[in-house]
Amino acid sequence: MPKTLLEVRDLHTYFLTKEGTVKAVNGVSFTLEEDSVLGLVGESGSGKTVTALSILQLVPFPGKIVEGSITYNGQNLLDMSTERLRALRGQEISLIFQDSGAALNPVIPIGRQVEEIMLEHTDMGKRQARATAEDLLKQMGIPDSRRMLDQYPFQLSGGMAQRVMMAIGVALNPRVLIADEPTSNLDVTLQAEMLQRLRRLRQENHSAIMLITHDLGVIAQMAERVVVMYGGTVVEQATTRDLFARPYHPYTWGLFQALPRLDAPQRSLTPLRGAPPQMMDPPDQCPFLHRCSKATAECRTSPRPPLDEVAENHWVACYNTINYN
Protein backbone atom coordinates (compact mmCIF):
# COMPACT_ATOMS: atom_id res chain seq x y z
CA MET A 1 0.00 0.00 0.00
CA PRO A 2 1.36 3.44 -0.87
CA LYS A 3 1.81 5.71 2.09
CA THR A 4 -0.70 8.50 2.60
CA LEU A 5 1.15 11.79 2.99
CA LEU A 6 -1.74 14.20 3.22
CA GLU A 7 -5.33 13.65 4.18
CA VAL A 8 -8.01 16.30 3.85
CA ARG A 9 -11.18 15.36 5.65
CA ASP A 10 -14.55 17.08 5.50
CA LEU A 11 -12.97 20.46 4.88
CA HIS A 12 -15.24 23.50 5.09
CA THR A 13 -13.72 26.86 4.22
CA TYR A 14 -16.12 29.79 4.20
CA PHE A 15 -15.84 33.49 3.48
CA LEU A 16 -17.83 35.22 6.15
CA THR A 17 -18.91 38.39 4.36
CA LYS A 18 -21.44 41.05 5.35
CA GLU A 19 -23.75 39.86 2.61
CA GLY A 20 -23.66 36.23 3.68
CA THR A 21 -21.51 33.12 3.99
CA VAL A 22 -19.72 32.07 0.80
CA LYS A 23 -19.24 28.32 1.18
CA ALA A 24 -16.24 28.11 -1.15
CA VAL A 25 -15.26 24.66 0.14
CA ASN A 26 -18.20 22.77 1.55
CA GLY A 27 -17.20 19.34 2.85
CA VAL A 28 -14.26 18.20 0.74
CA SER A 29 -12.25 15.02 1.43
CA PHE A 30 -9.37 13.36 -0.42
CA THR A 31 -5.96 11.83 0.24
CA LEU A 32 -2.60 12.30 -1.40
CA GLU A 33 -0.37 9.24 -1.58
CA GLU A 34 3.38 9.32 -1.98
CA ASP A 35 4.72 8.85 -5.49
CA SER A 36 1.44 9.82 -7.12
CA VAL A 37 -0.30 12.65 -8.91
CA LEU A 38 -3.86 13.60 -8.02
CA GLY A 39 -5.67 15.83 -10.48
CA LEU A 40 -8.18 18.39 -9.24
CA VAL A 41 -10.59 19.69 -11.86
CA GLY A 42 -13.80 21.69 -11.92
CA GLU A 43 -15.15 24.86 -13.45
CA SER A 44 -14.08 28.31 -12.42
CA GLY A 45 -15.25 29.16 -8.90
CA SER A 46 -15.73 25.53 -7.82
CA GLY A 47 -13.30 25.92 -4.90
CA LYS A 48 -10.05 24.43 -6.18
CA THR A 49 -7.79 27.30 -5.19
CA VAL A 50 -9.46 27.79 -1.82
CA THR A 51 -8.92 24.06 -1.15
CA ALA A 52 -5.23 24.45 -2.01
CA LEU A 53 -4.81 27.56 0.12
CA SER A 54 -6.60 25.89 3.03
CA ILE A 55 -4.00 23.13 3.18
CA LEU A 56 -1.29 25.63 4.07
CA GLN A 57 -3.64 27.96 5.92
CA LEU A 58 -3.14 30.77 3.47
CA VAL A 59 -6.81 31.55 2.92
CA PRO A 60 -7.18 35.34 2.79
CA PHE A 61 -9.49 37.26 5.11
CA PRO A 62 -12.50 36.98 5.48
CA GLY A 63 -11.95 33.31 4.63
CA LYS A 64 -11.89 30.82 7.46
CA ILE A 65 -11.58 27.07 7.84
CA VAL A 66 -14.65 26.35 9.91
CA GLU A 67 -14.58 22.56 9.99
CA GLY A 68 -12.53 19.55 9.03
CA SER A 69 -9.01 18.25 9.42
CA ILE A 70 -5.89 18.31 7.28
CA THR A 71 -3.34 15.72 8.31
CA TYR A 72 0.24 15.60 7.08
CA ASN A 73 2.25 12.56 8.16
CA GLY A 74 -0.16 12.00 11.01
CA GLN A 75 -0.11 15.59 12.33
CA ASN A 76 -3.13 17.86 12.02
CA LEU A 77 -1.94 20.99 10.25
CA LEU A 78 -4.87 22.92 11.68
CA ASP A 79 -3.58 22.48 15.25
CA MET A 80 0.01 23.27 14.38
CA SER A 81 1.88 26.31 15.72
CA THR A 82 2.64 29.10 13.27
CA GLU A 83 6.40 28.44 13.54
CA ARG A 84 6.05 24.74 12.85
CA LEU A 85 3.79 25.43 9.92
CA ARG A 86 6.22 27.97 8.53
CA ALA A 87 9.01 25.39 8.77
CA LEU A 88 6.91 22.88 6.81
CA ARG A 89 5.89 25.31 4.11
CA GLY A 90 8.17 25.32 1.14
CA GLN A 91 10.28 22.51 2.51
CA GLU A 92 7.90 19.60 3.06
CA ILE A 93 4.72 20.97 1.56
CA SER A 94 4.94 23.56 -1.12
CA LEU A 95 2.43 25.44 -3.18
CA ILE A 96 2.74 26.87 -6.65
CA PHE A 97 0.22 29.69 -6.70
CA GLN A 98 -2.26 30.14 -9.50
CA ASP A 99 -1.67 33.87 -9.60
CA SER A 100 2.12 33.86 -9.83
CA GLY A 101 2.27 37.60 -10.47
CA ALA A 102 0.59 38.37 -7.16
CA ALA A 103 2.49 35.68 -5.25
CA LEU A 104 5.87 37.29 -5.92
CA ASN A 105 6.89 40.27 -3.83
CA PRO A 106 6.94 43.27 -6.19
CA VAL A 107 9.78 45.14 -4.44
CA ILE A 108 12.30 42.28 -4.14
CA PRO A 109 14.40 41.06 -7.07
CA ILE A 110 13.58 37.57 -8.36
CA GLY A 111 16.92 36.11 -7.31
CA ARG A 112 16.49 37.07 -3.69
CA GLN A 113 13.03 35.55 -3.63
CA VAL A 114 14.33 32.24 -4.96
CA GLU A 115 17.37 32.31 -2.67
CA GLU A 116 15.27 33.04 0.36
CA ILE A 117 13.77 29.57 0.44
CA MET A 118 17.26 28.00 0.56
CA LEU A 119 18.51 30.48 3.16
CA GLU A 120 15.49 29.90 5.37
CA HIS A 121 15.36 26.11 5.24
CA THR A 122 18.92 24.89 4.61
CA ASP A 123 22.39 25.72 5.89
CA MET A 124 23.45 27.06 2.51
CA GLY A 125 25.41 30.30 2.54
CA LYS A 126 24.51 33.31 0.47
CA ARG A 127 26.77 32.46 -2.47
CA GLN A 128 25.66 28.88 -2.71
CA ALA A 129 22.01 29.92 -2.47
CA ARG A 130 22.55 32.34 -5.33
CA ALA A 131 24.22 29.72 -7.50
CA THR A 132 21.43 27.28 -6.72
CA ALA A 133 18.81 29.90 -7.57
CA GLU A 134 20.47 30.51 -10.91
CA ASP A 135 20.57 26.80 -11.59
CA LEU A 136 16.90 26.36 -10.67
CA LEU A 137 15.87 29.12 -13.07
CA LYS A 138 18.01 27.54 -15.76
CA GLN A 139 16.26 24.20 -15.18
CA MET A 140 12.97 25.98 -15.83
CA GLY A 141 14.22 26.95 -19.26
CA ILE A 142 14.68 30.61 -18.34
CA PRO A 143 17.21 32.05 -20.74
CA ASP A 144 19.94 34.22 -19.25
CA SER A 145 19.04 33.14 -15.75
CA ARG A 146 21.88 35.14 -14.15
CA ARG A 147 20.44 38.37 -15.45
CA MET A 148 16.97 37.27 -14.38
CA LEU A 149 18.14 37.11 -10.75
CA ASP A 150 18.34 40.90 -10.66
CA GLN A 151 15.01 41.60 -12.28
CA TYR A 152 11.83 42.62 -10.50
CA PRO A 153 8.52 40.77 -10.90
CA PHE A 154 6.96 43.58 -12.98
CA GLN A 155 9.65 43.00 -15.62
CA LEU A 156 8.47 39.42 -16.13
CA SER A 157 5.81 38.11 -18.48
CA GLY A 158 3.08 35.91 -17.01
CA GLY A 159 4.75 32.76 -18.32
CA MET A 160 8.12 33.80 -16.91
CA ALA A 161 6.60 34.53 -13.47
CA GLN A 162 4.99 31.11 -13.57
CA ARG A 163 8.35 29.46 -14.18
CA VAL A 164 9.92 31.38 -11.32
CA MET A 165 7.11 30.15 -9.06
CA MET A 166 7.72 26.62 -10.26
CA ALA A 167 11.44 27.01 -9.43
CA ILE A 168 10.57 28.14 -5.90
CA GLY A 169 8.00 25.36 -5.56
CA VAL A 170 10.38 22.50 -6.38
CA ALA A 171 13.57 24.06 -4.93
CA LEU A 172 13.70 21.90 -1.81
CA ASN A 173 12.20 18.74 -3.27
CA PRO A 174 9.02 18.94 -1.18
CA ARG A 175 7.24 15.74 -0.15
CA VAL A 176 3.93 17.29 -1.13
CA LEU A 177 3.58 19.75 -3.96
CA ILE A 178 0.33 21.53 -4.70
CA ALA A 179 0.47 23.06 -8.15
CA ASP A 180 -2.41 25.39 -8.99
CA GLU A 181 -2.65 25.84 -12.77
CA PRO A 182 1.15 25.70 -13.09
CA THR A 183 1.19 25.66 -16.88
CA SER A 184 -1.83 27.73 -17.91
CA ASN A 185 0.19 30.66 -19.32
CA LEU A 186 2.76 28.55 -21.13
CA ASP A 187 3.02 27.43 -24.70
CA VAL A 188 2.91 23.72 -25.45
CA THR A 189 6.68 23.19 -25.46
CA LEU A 190 7.22 24.93 -22.15
CA GLN A 191 4.22 23.23 -20.67
CA ALA A 192 5.77 19.88 -21.57
CA GLU A 193 9.03 20.92 -19.88
CA MET A 194 7.26 21.99 -16.71
CA LEU A 195 5.31 18.76 -16.56
CA GLN A 196 8.55 16.87 -17.03
CA ARG A 197 10.00 18.75 -14.06
CA LEU A 198 7.02 17.64 -11.96
CA ARG A 199 7.53 14.04 -13.05
CA ARG A 200 11.15 14.28 -12.04
CA LEU A 201 10.21 15.57 -8.58
CA ARG A 202 7.92 12.62 -8.19
CA GLN A 203 10.45 10.07 -9.41
CA GLU A 204 13.43 11.31 -7.45
CA ASN A 205 11.62 12.15 -4.25
CA HIS A 206 8.49 9.96 -4.31
CA SER A 207 6.57 13.15 -3.80
CA ALA A 208 2.80 13.47 -3.82
CA ILE A 209 1.59 16.06 -6.29
CA MET A 210 -1.80 17.69 -6.42
CA LEU A 211 -2.25 19.15 -9.86
CA ILE A 212 -5.03 21.68 -10.30
CA THR A 213 -5.84 22.39 -13.91
CA HIS A 214 -8.62 23.10 -16.38
CA ASP A 215 -6.77 21.05 -18.95
CA LEU A 216 -8.05 17.51 -19.09
CA GLY A 217 -5.25 16.64 -21.52
CA VAL A 218 -2.72 17.48 -18.79
CA ILE A 219 -4.69 15.37 -16.33
CA ALA A 220 -4.67 12.43 -18.73
CA GLN A 221 -0.88 12.64 -19.06
CA MET A 222 -0.01 13.24 -15.46
CA ALA A 223 -2.54 12.03 -12.90
CA GLU A 224 -3.59 8.57 -11.82
CA ARG A 225 -6.53 9.79 -9.82
CA VAL A 226 -8.89 12.69 -10.31
CA VAL A 227 -11.13 14.64 -7.97
CA VAL A 228 -13.91 16.58 -9.69
CA MET A 229 -15.24 19.59 -7.79
CA TYR A 230 -18.47 21.45 -8.35
CA GLY A 231 -19.88 24.23 -6.20
CA GLY A 232 -17.42 23.68 -3.35
CA THR A 233 -18.03 19.95 -3.17
CA VAL A 234 -16.51 16.78 -4.58
CA VAL A 235 -18.96 15.35 -7.09
CA GLU A 236 -16.82 12.51 -8.43
CA GLN A 237 -13.55 10.80 -7.68
CA ALA A 238 -11.92 7.92 -9.55
CA THR A 239 -8.80 6.71 -11.28
CA THR A 240 -8.09 8.77 -14.38
CA ARG A 241 -8.70 5.75 -16.55
CA ASP A 242 -12.13 5.03 -15.06
CA LEU A 243 -13.16 8.65 -15.01
CA PHE A 244 -12.33 9.17 -18.67
CA ALA A 245 -13.90 5.88 -19.69
CA ARG A 246 -17.05 6.16 -17.59
CA PRO A 247 -17.85 9.49 -16.03
CA TYR A 248 -20.89 8.80 -13.83
CA HIS A 249 -21.78 12.28 -12.68
CA PRO A 250 -23.75 14.31 -15.24
CA TYR A 251 -21.41 17.25 -14.60
CA THR A 252 -18.28 15.19 -15.34
CA TRP A 253 -19.98 13.65 -18.33
CA GLY A 254 -20.66 17.18 -19.59
CA LEU A 255 -17.00 18.13 -19.12
CA PHE A 256 -15.97 15.41 -21.49
CA GLN A 257 -18.68 16.32 -23.99
CA ALA A 258 -17.18 19.80 -24.12
CA LEU A 259 -13.79 18.46 -25.19
CA PRO A 260 -12.75 18.53 -28.82
CA ARG A 261 -11.88 15.05 -29.96
CA LEU A 262 -9.39 13.72 -32.44
CA ASP A 263 -11.87 11.24 -33.82
CA ALA A 264 -14.56 13.90 -34.28
CA PRO A 265 -12.75 17.17 -34.83
CA GLN A 266 -15.71 18.90 -36.44
CA ARG A 267 -17.80 18.44 -33.31
CA SER A 268 -18.42 21.82 -31.74
CA LEU A 269 -17.60 22.58 -28.14
CA THR A 270 -20.58 22.56 -25.85
CA PRO A 271 -19.95 24.88 -22.93
CA LEU A 272 -22.00 24.24 -19.85
CA ARG A 273 -25.30 26.07 -20.02
CA GLY A 274 -26.97 27.84 -17.12
CA ALA A 275 -25.79 29.84 -14.14
CA PRO A 276 -23.04 28.67 -11.81
CA PRO A 277 -24.24 27.35 -8.47
CA GLN A 278 -25.16 29.54 -5.56
CA MET A 279 -22.12 29.72 -3.30
CA MET A 280 -23.56 32.18 -0.81
CA ASP A 281 -25.73 30.47 1.79
CA PRO A 282 -26.39 27.53 -0.57
CA PRO A 283 -29.41 25.31 0.08
CA ASP A 284 -28.82 21.73 1.23
CA GLN A 285 -29.31 20.34 -2.26
CA CYS A 286 -27.30 18.94 -5.11
CA PRO A 287 -25.27 21.96 -6.29
CA PHE A 288 -25.61 20.84 -9.92
CA LEU A 289 -29.41 20.49 -9.78
CA HIS A 290 -30.32 23.56 -11.83
CA ARG A 291 -28.03 22.74 -14.70
CA CYS A 292 -28.53 19.02 -14.76
CA SER A 293 -30.35 17.42 -17.67
CA LYS A 294 -30.91 14.26 -15.65
CA ALA A 295 -32.42 15.83 -12.51
CA THR A 296 -35.46 13.99 -11.16
CA ALA A 297 -38.10 14.76 -8.55
CA GLU A 298 -35.91 12.93 -6.04
CA CYS A 299 -33.02 15.30 -6.79
CA ARG A 300 -35.25 18.33 -6.22
CA THR A 301 -36.64 17.18 -2.89
CA SER A 302 -33.57 15.51 -1.34
CA PRO A 303 -30.60 16.88 0.58
CA ARG A 304 -27.19 17.05 -1.07
CA PRO A 305 -26.33 13.55 -2.34
CA PRO A 306 -23.55 11.78 -0.43
CA LEU A 307 -20.40 10.58 -2.19
CA ASP A 308 -21.07 6.87 -2.79
CA GLU A 309 -18.89 4.16 -4.25
CA VAL A 310 -20.69 3.18 -7.47
CA ALA A 311 -17.94 0.98 -8.88
CA GLU A 312 -14.70 -0.19 -7.35
CA ASN A 313 -12.86 2.88 -6.06
CA HIS A 314 -15.12 5.14 -8.09
CA TRP A 315 -17.08 7.64 -6.01
CA VAL A 316 -19.99 9.77 -7.14
CA ALA A 317 -22.35 12.19 -5.42
CA CYS A 318 -25.50 11.87 -7.52
CA TYR A 319 -28.99 10.34 -7.26
CA ASN A 320 -29.30 9.69 -10.97
CA THR A 321 -25.91 8.81 -12.43
CA ILE A 322 -25.17 8.21 -16.11
CA ASN A 323 -26.21 4.68 -16.91
CA TYR A 324 -23.77 2.45 -18.80
CA ASN A 325 -25.83 -0.73 -18.89
Ligand X SMILES: Nc1ncnc2c1ncn2[C@@H]1O[C@H](COP(=O)(O)OP(=O)(O)OP(=O)(O)O)[C@@H](O)[C@H]1O
Binding test (CB under 6 A) with ligand X, winner from 19, 60, 107, 303: 60
Residue 271 touching ligand X (CB under 6 A):
no
Cα three-residue angle 105-109-113, rounded to 5 degrees? 60
| Distances 194 to 97, 132, 186, 206 between C-alpha atoms, Å | 14, 18, 9, 17
Rounded-to-integer distance, Cα 264 and Cα 281, Å: 41
Burial class (CB in 10 A: 0-12, 13-18, 19+), 172: middle
Rounded-to-integer distance, Cα 235 and Cα 308, Å: 10
Gyration radius (Cα) of the chain, Å: 20
Residue 44 touching ligand X (CB under 6 A):
yes
Judged by CB under 6 A, the chain residues 151 through 190 that form the site for ligand X are none
129 binds, among Mg ion, ligand X, none (CB under 5 to 8 A by kind): none
Site string for ligand X, 63-92 (x = CB under 6 A): x-----------------------------
Binding test (CB under 6 A) with ligand X, winner from 47, 68, 90, 174: 47
Binding test (CB under 6 A) with ligand X, winner from 45, 109, 141, 159: 45
How many other CB atoms are there within 10 angstroms of residue 298's CB atom?
Answer: 11
Rounded-to-integer distance, Cα 8 and Cα 98, Å: 20
Site string for ligand X, 279-308 (x = CB under 6 A): x-----------------------------
Residue 242 C-alpha from the chain's centroid: 20
Smallest separation, CB 324 to Mg ion (Å): 31
Question: Which CB, 48 or 130, lies closer to ligand X?
Answer: 48
What is the residue-wise DSSP string for 187-217? -HHHHHHHHHHHHHHHHHH--EEEEE-S-HH
Residue 49 touching Mg ion (CB under 5 A):
yes
Single out the residue of 46, 39, 47, 43 nearest to residue 258, CA to CA.
Answer: 43
Stretch that binds ligand X, among 47-55, 77-85, 161-169, 266-274 (CB under 6 A): 47-55
Rounded-to-integer distance, Cα 92 and Cα 208, Å: 11
Total number of residues binding ligand X (CB under 6 A)? 16
Question: Which CB, 22 or 316, lies closer to ligand X?
Answer: 22
22 binds, among ligand X, Mg ion, none (CB under 5 to 8 A by kind): ligand X
Rounded-to-integer distance, Cα 323 and Cα 248, Å: 7
Q: How would you list the strands of the sheet with 21-33, edge to edge? A: 21-33, 4-16, 63-72, 75-76
Question: Which CB, 46 or 321, lies closer to ligand X?
Answer: 46
Question: Which CB, 17 or 105, lies closer to ligand X?
Answer: 17
Stretch that binds Mg ion, among 24-32, 41-49, 69-77, 255-263 (CB under 5 A): 41-49
109 binds, among Mg ion, ligand X, none (CB under 5 to 8 A by kind): none
Rounded-to-integer distance, Cα 108 and Cα 96, Å: 18
Stretch that binds ligand X, among 3-11, 46-54, 148-156, 167-175 (CB under 6 A): 46-54
Binding test (CB under 6 A) with ligand X, winner from 36, 46, 113, 285: 46
Residue 24 touching ligand X (CB under 6 A):
yes
Rounded-to-integer distance, Cα 173 and Cα 91, Å: 7
Binding test (CB under 6 A) with ligand X, winner from 36, 94, 98, 145: 98
Residues that bind Mg ion (CB under 5 A): 48-49, 98
Residues that bind ligand X (CB under 6 A): 15, 17, 22, 24, 42, 44-50, 60, 63, 98, 279
